[in-house]
Amino acid sequence: MSKLNPVTTHREFSGLPGTIAITFGLAGVILAFGFLINETYCIDGVNIQWDEVWKQVPLSKEDIIELFFDKTTWVAYLIWFSILAVLDIILPGKEMKGITLRDGTQLDYKINGWPMIMLLLTILTSRLAISSDYYLPELAFLYNNHLKLTGTTIAFSFILATLVYIASFIPLRGKNGMGTKERILSINGNTGSPFYDWFIGRELNPRIGYLDIKLFCELRPGLLLWFLINLSCIHHQYHKLGFVSDSLILVNVLQAFYIVDGVQNEEGVLSMIDITTDGFGYMLCFGDLAWLPISYCLQARYLLIKPLNLGITNCLLVNGVMALGFYIFHLANQQKSDFKQGKLDHLNLKLIKTKTGSKLLCDGWWGLSQHINYLGDWFIGWSWCLTTGFETPLTYFYVIYFGSLLFHRQTRDEMKCRAKYGSTWEEYERKVPYKIIPYIY
Ligand code: NDP
């Protein structure tokens, strides 16, 4: 057995059956959103006219191929993906080191989220300024081809996950920190079961030259596509109805704020479980490239089809929920990041020293619960859903899904920390007994 890459014995998601179900089930869910929330909207509260929905589902071989492999949508998506990849390499940014890997090395990362966002905004605003009638064909394309785009991102995720899985077996060209040509694999994705490892991600940090595929996919093509799909909803409503409802503007602003914050906090992502522990396989490919842009725009797509006037008071209330969530989310993540970098040493905060040399903070936000940042993030999700009013529970899908994701993430992280810190983690749990919601859970 390789010293560098221990064989994974633990299986997540109930092993092979669970990962197969998630792979096909979640792809089905985002396609279903496309069939449910469109111009032929046929939902009344909890009642869905399934016969109307079913009529839209492609059943012939030609229609299925067109859904997943429409040439124009694929060309557009590949151009989008490639331009972002090139920009990621050439745009200037702060050079940073990642965490120390199992072979003792650290990877170099370039943090250039801000230049990327500024460039995208400059292109969009100048395109709008010179356009006649504020019409942008690229935004119209996104709206008009939503289903094909969904199919393309699913198919693309399958292909990319397969390519990185195959590449994980090819020895490195140079040598790793242990003097061998072995790639560093994920501690979770090296079971030997091809489908399971393909799903979880076999290699920890697949790269093409300087481009770190995992970090790139996490913060660029999916996150920014979500932003553009949301904008395409405003664009479509304006050109169809001649006005944009306050609810659609609000959800766009709230989500754009979250997206920009995510991109500008790129440094913080380097210490997230996704980057430090998970391999890059279908789970992250699909999550970043398909699930995120297609399912997170559900509220905007709904509000485009069902224009809703919230009024000033409701807008302020929704903003209040967002502000509270963001306050907790941002300050808690910032505090952990500052603590890890030693910036809070002078404050004498309560902490526990672990055997590995790292410290666990048990004070401030991190004295309230073990993942208070998750609670803030969940409140943010509530604010997005609340913009849609209470006509259907479908638009509240996000908070239910995200709540379960965070709950599952907490259990995974607990398992990781228990294995890493042993009895010190138990001492930490005694000091900070609540997992996410203070005094409740
Ligand atoms: P955390 O930011 O909570 O990080 C967990 C890690 O931090 C642990 O593994 C441990 O790592 C370290 N740690 C835990 N407790 C302490 C402590 N008390 N003191 C010091 N270090 C500690 O989790 P995530 O990486 O999962 O999430 C980061 C953010 O991303 C969250 O705000 C989350 O809400 C958000 N997120 C958003 C998603 C979305 O789709 N919108 C999806 C997933 C996450 P170690 O000790 O090994 O350094």
Domain end residue (candidates: 285, 309, 333): 309
Identify whether residues 371 and 283 lie together within a single domain: no
Asked if 416 and 348 sit in the same domain, the reply is yes
- State whether the beta carbon of 380 lies less than 6 angstroms from ligand 1: no
* Angle formed at CA 158 by CA 155 and CA 159, multiple of 5 degrees: 90
CB distance 378 to ligand 1 below 6 Å: no
47, 36 in Cβ contact below 8 A?
no
| Within a domain: 9 | no
- Rounded mean pLDDT of the chain? 94
Structure-token pair, residue 43: 């939902």
On whether the CB atoms of residues 300 and 230 are closer than 8 A, the answer is yes
Average pLDDT estimate for 189-218: 96
- Confidence grade of residue 145 (pLDDT, cut at 50, 70, 90): very high
Task: Tell whether the model's pLDDT for residue 218 goes beyond 80.
Answer: yes
**Closest atom, ligand 1, to C-alpha of 258:** 41
| pLDDT band per the 50, 70, 90 thresholds, residue 191 | very high
- Is 7 within a domain? no
Confidence of residue 65 (pLDDT cuts 50, 70, 90): very high
Greater pLDDT, 354 or 387: 387
Using the 3D structure, point to which of 309, 330, 354 is the last residue of a domain: 309
Instruction: Indicate whether 34 and 109 sit together in one domain.
Output: yes
Give, in degrees to the nearest 5, the angle at Cα 213 between 208 and 219: 145
pLDDT digits (tens, 9 = 90+) for 166-178: 999 999 988 888 8
Q: Are residues 78 and 34 in the same domain?
A: yes
Last residue of a domain, one of 309, 335, 362: 309
The answer on pLDDT for 440 being more than 90 is: yes
Please tell me the predicted confidence (pLDDT) of residue 127. 94
pLDDT digits (tens, 9 = 90+) for 8-17: 999 999 999 9
| CA distances, 46 to each of 39, 167, 392 (Å) | 18, 46, 6
Residue 265: pLDDT band (50, 70, 90) is confident
- Could you tell me the distance, in angstroms and rounded to a whole number, from the CA of residue 376 to the centre of ligand 1? 12
Tell me the mean pLDDT in the region 431-441.
95
pLDDT at 40: 87
Sorting pLDDT into bands at 50, 70 and 90, what band is 43? confident
Atom 8 of ligand 1 has which residue's CA nearest to it?
A: 413
Instruction: Inform me whether the pLDDT recorded for 210 exceeds 90.
Output: no
Distance CA 262, CA 269 (A): 8
Q: Is residue 173 part of a domain?
A: yes
Whole-number Å distance, alpha carbon 30 to ligand 1 midpoint, is 26
413-422 confidence digits (pLDDT tens): 999 899 889 8
Closest residue to atom 48 of ligand 1, CA basis = 271
| Amino acid at the residue 121 | L
Name, in order, each residue with C-beta under 8 angstroms of 168's C-beta and a sequence gap of 6 or more: 183, 185, 202, 203, 206
Q: Which helix (H) or strand (E) holds 56?
A: helix 50-56
pLDDT tops 90 at residue 190? yes
Total count of residues recorded for the chain: 441
The residue ranking higher by pLDDT, 423 or 83, is: 83
- As beta bridge partners, residue 353 has 359
Verify that 304 and 410 share a domain, yes or no. Answer: no
In a domain, 100, yes or no: yes
Measure 273 CA to ligand 1 centroid, in angstroms: 7
Number of domains in the chain: 2
- The answer to whether residue 8 is domain-embedded is no
pLDDT over 70 for what percent of the chain? 100
pLDDT of residue 330: 93
The string of pLDDT tens digits covering residues 311-355 is: 999 999 999 999 999 999 999 999 998 898 888 988 889 999 988
User: Is there an atom of ligand 1 within 6 Å of 272 CB?
Assistant: yes
Category of 32 on φ-ψ map: left (φ > 0), alpha (ψ -120 to 50) or beta? alpha
Residue 347 sits in the same domain as residue 265? no
Does residue 185 carry a pLDDT above 90? Answer: yes
Residue 1 pLDDT exceeds 80 = no
Indicate whether 433 belongs to any domain: yes
Q: What is the pLDDT of residue 294?
A: 98
pLDDT for the residue numbered 389: 96
Q: Are residues 300 and 331 in the same domain?
A: no
Any ligand 1 atom below 6 A from CB of 398: no
Q: What is the pLDDT of residue 177?
A: 87
Q: Please indicate, yes or no, whether residues 94 and 168 belong to a single structural domain of this protein.
A: yes
Shared domain for 302 and 342, answered yes or no, is: no
244 half-sphere exposure, CB direction, 13 A CA radius: 17
Residue 185, domain member (yes or no):
yes
- Rounded distance between C-alpha atoms, residue 363 and residue 177, angstroms: 36
Pair (249, 100) in one structural domain: yes
Does residue 119 line the site of ligand 1, with CB under 6 A? Answer: no
Residue 320: the pLDDT is: 98
* Ligand 1 pocket check for 413: Cβ under 6 Å: yes
Please give the residue range of the domain that contains residue 357: 311-441
270 inside domain? yes
Least confident of 44-53, 163-172, 367-376: 44-53
**Is any atom of ligand 1 closer than 6 Å to the C-beta of 409?**
yes
The answer on 319 and 235 residing in a single domain is no
**Residue 60 and residue 97 share a domain:** yes
Say if ligand 1 is within 6 A of residue 273 CB: yes
